[in-house]
Structures are given as structure tokens and as C-alpha cells.
Amino acid sequence: MSEPFFDKYQNNPTKAVLIEPAHYSAPGLVGPITMDKIPLAGNPKMYFQLPSDSAQLVFSYHLDFNGIDFSQVSMLHSEDKFNAEEKKLEVRLHENGLYLIQLSGGELTDNVFTMSQGQLSAVNPKSINLSEAFAPKEEGMVPRQNIPLEEYLRNI
């Protein structure tokens, strides 16, 4: 992993390396993004989400798994949510883990999986909603919260 997490995992025997740019990125993102005319590290792109009135940065990386034994690898996903009562961030682990979507010719397909203990398990693509980063954009503006994978695939 790159900074700031690199030193946190020095003793872990299994390491995947984040490499940019990714082989795939959501279409229609605005970039490059600069601050005081200096490009941001990691070359993120951006879109504006109208429902939340916010700018969202998207960093595109791919993982280099050279030399990794997948028999014990699980791909998990968590999100931080602010607990207003306790005034702290809580980590919420998603039960299904990280969704892995197969690419074909540089585009997403309807082949969706999760990985647990090195085993891929197929996921019904009808249950998958992509981030609004994948939704159609007009001059970098997104007027919705997400887009079903099936709708996305019909429109590419």
C-alpha cells in the first residue's frame, strides 16, 4: 500500500501493491484536479453529486497480486459512519465483502463475485448498485445517488 498506510502493514506476510492508473475508471469524471496549480497525488478525478451538494474525488488504482497465495485471501469492505451521539466514527463491515466485477475489453460486465478464503462466489448482478460515480454525468454533475449495474451496462 502507499502512504499513509505502508508502515502499518510491514509485518503482514501478504502484501498487495496499489498501482496507478487503474485499468478501468468510471466514465465522465472531470480531471486533472489541482490545488494551487499543483496536481493532487494519485491523480484523482472528480464529479459533483447534486443530491448531497458535494464534490467527490475518485482515485483509480489497481492491485498487483504478484506472488500472493490466494487460498487465504478475503476481499472485505467497510465504511466509516459518524455516530453523532458518541461523537466518533464507527467502522461498519459489509457482510458480503467487496464486490468484484469482471472486465471485458476494458468495460464492466455482469459477472459479479465476492472473495472469501480464496474462493470466488458469484453474486446476482440484479442486486448490485454502483456508486453515482458511474451514473450519467452532465458537465461533471450527477443528479442521483447510484445506478443499478444492469442500467449502467445497458447505457455503455
Type of residue found at 146: N
Q: Is 1 among the domain residues? A: no
Type of residue found at 95: E
123's CB contacts (< 8 A; 6+ apart) are 96, 99, 112, 113, 114
Q: Is 105 among the domain residues? A: yes
**Is it the case that residue 143 has pLDDT exceeding 80?**
yes
| Three-state secondary structure call for residue 50 | coil
Q: Is 119 among the domain residues? A: yes
Domain that holds residue 150: 6-155
Q: Is 15 among the domain residues? A: yes
**Is it the case that residue 33 has pLDDT exceeding 60?**
yes
Domains of the chain: total: 1
- What percent of the chain has a predicted confidence (pLDDT) above 90? 24
Q: Is 128 among the domain residues? A: yes
Please, what sign has the CA dihedral across residues 76, 81, 83, 88?
positive
| Whole-structure pTM value | 0.73
